[in-house]
């Protein structure tokens, strides 16, 4: 009997975990509340920084830069905040120990848990870009939409990888919520969202370039200005590299923290 992809254990674990996470999320979060969050968060974050920039320069010179940057960054609510809290939420629900004792591979298991947040991140960015064009007056007439779609996909996946890396700490600490909050907003400062990374002190810039969002904001602005996917290739590849690096480091951290938490008996501490 021929084996199919569905028989491959990591594949099964990934999809079963993804479906379970989706059902678990909407068991407590009503769809209208999710939709409200999807529509409200990008609007007000973008409005805050766009009006701030209009206060600084009434000619609106920085509006497009800031609106597109924030449209991308607002996806951090899903890709960083929600994903980073995955391990902590399992603790709060009392299900982490049950997961840890299963022989299932951790990598597809937690990647599956984060699957819906990748889609959520993409939806958030699309809503944000819609606001950028229709409310904040960003000219998108030259936009290469194929390149922009690739940038949105890559940024969402890469930032979710970054969120998983941060979330691994939650295995050992009492909560990952603190780290999630710090990294949710720190991107506004160091990822070239509101001003170019070059404005930052030199010692801080390497941290910026270690976060996939930095490449995402640059690539999205270039796509809005008309750059095609070939021209954006180097930037997108760098973003993929930063995302893959985050996932790899995150997986190693996860294994390390899992061993540490087992030894110290901190799985149920929260």
Partner 1 sequence: MTRLQTISGSFRMSLLHFFTDPQWIIPNIIAPFVFTIVALVLFGNVSASVALYAVLGGGMMGMWGNTLYGSGFALAFDRWNGTIEYVLATPSRLVWIIAGRSASNAVLGLVNAFAIVLVVAIGYGTLFVVANPVLFILALILTLASLSALGVVFCSAFLLSRSAQVMTNGLEMPIYVATGSMFPIALLPFWSHPISLSLGPTWGIDAMRYAADATYTGLGFGYWTDLLLVAASTAIYMAIGFWLFIVVEKKVRRDATLTEY
User: Which residues contribute to the site for partner 1 (CB under 8 A)?
Assistant: 28-30, 33-34, 36-37, 40-41, 44-45, 47-49, 51-56, 62, 77, 92, 177-178, 181-182, 184-186, 188-189, 194-195, 199
Q: For the CB of residue 15, give the shortest distance to partner 1 in the complex, in Å.
A: 26
Nearer to partner 1, 53 or 133 (CB): 53
Of 255, 256, 259, nearest to 105 by C-alpha is 255
Q: For the CB of residue 193, give the shortest distance to partner 1 in the complex, in Å.
A: 8
Nearer to partner 1, 50 or 109 (CB): 50
Question: Token pair for residue 71?
Answer: 């449209």
Nearer to partner 1, 23 or 30 (CB): 30
How many other C-beta atoms lie within 10 A of the C-beta of residue 223? 28
Three-state secondary-structure class, residue 74 = coil
Nearer to partner 1, 42 or 108 (CB): 42
Question: Token pair for residue 21?
Answer: 């996470």
Nearer to partner 1, 36 or 142 (CB): 36
The residues, ordered by sequence, that sit 6+ positions from 8 with a Cβ below 8 Å of its Cβ are none
Three-state secondary-structure class, residue 236 = helix
Q: For the CB of residue 26, give the shortest distance to partner 1 in the complex, in Å.
A: 11
Of 162, 159, 142, nearest to 231 by C-alpha is 142
Q: For the CB of residue 52, give the shortest distance to partner 1 in the complex, in Å.
A: 6
Q: For the CB of residue 6, give the shortest distance to partner 1 in the complex, in Å.
A: 34
How many other C-beta atoms lie within 10 A of the C-beta of residue 239? 26
């Amino acid at each position: 009997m021929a084996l199919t992809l569905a028989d491959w254990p990591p594949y099964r674990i990934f999809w079963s975990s993804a479906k379970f996470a989706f059902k678990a999320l909407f068991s407590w979060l009503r769809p209208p509340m999710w939709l409200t969050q999807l529509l409200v968060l990008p609007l007000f974050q973008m409005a805050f920084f766009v009006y701030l920039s209009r206060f600084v320069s009434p000619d609106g010179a920085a509006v497009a830069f800031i609106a597109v940057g924030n449209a991308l960054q607002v996806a951090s609510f899903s890709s960083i905040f929600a994903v980073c809290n995955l391990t902590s939420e399992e603790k709060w629900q009392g299900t982490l120990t049950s997961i840890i004792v299963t022989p299932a591979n951790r990598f597809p298991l937690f990647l599956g848990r984060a699957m819906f947040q990748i889609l959520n991140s993409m939806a958030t960015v699309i809503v944000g870009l819609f606001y950028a064009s229709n409310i904040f007056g960003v000219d998108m007439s030259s936009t290469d939409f194929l390149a922009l779609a690739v940038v949105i996909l890559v940024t969402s996946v890469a930032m979710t990888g970054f969120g998983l890396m941060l979330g691994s700490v939650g295995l050992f600490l009492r909560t990952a919520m603190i780290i999630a909050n710090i990294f949710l907003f720190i991107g506004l400062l160091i990822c070239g969202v509101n001003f170019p990374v070059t404005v930052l002190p030199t010692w801080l810039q390497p941290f910026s370039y270690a976060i996939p969002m930095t490449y995402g904001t640059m690539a999205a602005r270039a796509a809005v200005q008309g750059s095609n996917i070939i021209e954006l290739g180097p930037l997108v590849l760098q973003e993929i590299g930063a995302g893959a690096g985050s996932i790899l480091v995150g997986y190693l951290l996860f294994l390390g923290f899992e061993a540490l938490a087992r030894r110290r008996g901190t799985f149920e501490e929260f």
